[in-house]
Amino acid sequence: MRASSQAALRLAQERWEPVLRGTGERGVTLGEQLFALVDTLDSSAALRRALTEPSRDGADKARLAATVLQGRVDTEVVDLVSGLVRERWSDDGDLADAVESLAATSVLAAAEQAGRLADVEDESFRLVRTFADERELRAAVEDRNLTPERRAGLMETVLAGKVTPETLVLAVRAARTLRHRSVTSALRVVTELAAERRAHLVASVTSAVPLTREQIERLQRILRRSYGRDVAVHVGVDPELVGGVRVQVGDDVIDGTLATRLADARRRLAG
C-alpha cells in the first residue's frame, strides 16, 4: 500500500480497537463478516471503484457502503466500512486489502480476550512450518482447480480439534480464498499480526538439531538487544542444514548454516 492507503488503514485501526474491546469473542463474527466483504469487493471492480473514487463525495460513498451492507452485517461493521470509504485510497484494490487486515485483527482480538492469542500465534507459526514441509498437503489446500469450498473443507478436516477456534477460522479462510498468495504466506501474516498485538517481533529460527532452552534464551537476548524490543523465537528443525542456524525476523535473514557456507565456498571456487 502507498502512503494514503496506509494512512486510511491506520485511522480505521484506531477507530476499530475500542469497538473490539467491547465485543469480546463476538470479534470472530465481525471478522467473518469483514472477510465476506473482501470477497464481495474482489468480485466487483465496479463496486471497488465506486467506493474509492477520489472525486466522489465521502458522504455519498458512505451511504453506498451502508446500502450494500445494511441487513447483511452487524452495525459495527457498517460503521467501520462507512468510515473507511470516506478516506482516500491510492488504489481501489487497497480497500479490500485493508478490510482483510481488519478482519484478521478482529479474529485475533477475540482470541486475545479469550486468553488464546499466544496459542494462535504459536499454532499459525507451526502451520507455516507444516505446510512448508508437507508438500502434498500444501498442494492440496492450494489447488486452484478445486472449488474454494473443497479447499476450505480439506483444511477444516485436517485441523478440526487440533487448534484453537480462531486459528481454525483464519486457516480455513486462507485455504478458501488464496488471495494473491499461498496459504503459508497468509498464515505467516497471521503470525506477525498476532505478534504485533502481543507487542513483540517474531524470529523464525531453523536449526540442524533441536536447540536447548539455554540456547534459545541466549538467542532471544541477542535479538532483543539488536531490535530494541522483545522477540519471540519459534524454532524448527531441518537436518539438511548440516549445522548452524538460520534466523529470519521480518525481511531480515541471518544465515549461519553450514550448508550455506559450503554453497558460498563452492561458488567462490567456481569463480
Per-residue pLDDT reduced to its tens digit, 152-189: 999 999 999 999 999 999 999 999 999 868 999 999 99
> What average pLDDT does range 228-242 have in this prediction?
78
Question: pLDDT tens across 73-109, in order?
Answer: 999 999 999 999 999 999 999 999 999 999 999 999 9
For residues 260 and 47, the model is more confident at 47
Predicted local distance difference test score (pLDDT) of residue 265: 57
What does pLDDT average to over the chain? 89
Question: Is the Cβ–Cβ distance between 94 and 5 less than 8 Å?
Answer: yes
For residues 73 and 264, the model is more confident at 73
As a whole number of Å, the end-to-end CA separation of the chain is 41
**Whose CA is closest to 128, among 254, 248, 256, 261?**
248
Is the model's pLDDT at 268 over the cut of 80?
no
Cα-based distances in Å from 126 to 71, 162, 208: 38, 12, 17
Question: pLDDT tens across 46-64, in order?
Answer: 999 999 999 999 999 999 9
| Among the ranges given (5-9, 102-106, 260-264), the one the predictor scored with the smallest mean pLDDT | 260-264
Predicted local distance difference test score (pLDDT) of residue 234: 80
With H, G, I as helix, E, B as strand and everything else as coil, classify residue 232: strand
> Grid coordinates representing 94?
487497497
Is the model's pLDDT at 42 over the cut of 80?
yes
Predicted local distance difference test score (pLDDT) of residue 82: 96
pTM over 0.75: yes
The C-alpha atoms of residue 213 and residue 216 are separated, in whole angstroms, by: 5
The C-alpha atoms of residue 88 and residue 98 are separated, in whole angstroms, by: 12
Burial 133-166 (b: 16+ CB within 10 A, else e): eeeeebebbbeeeeeeeebbebbeebbeeebbeb
CA-based radius of gyration for the chain: 21
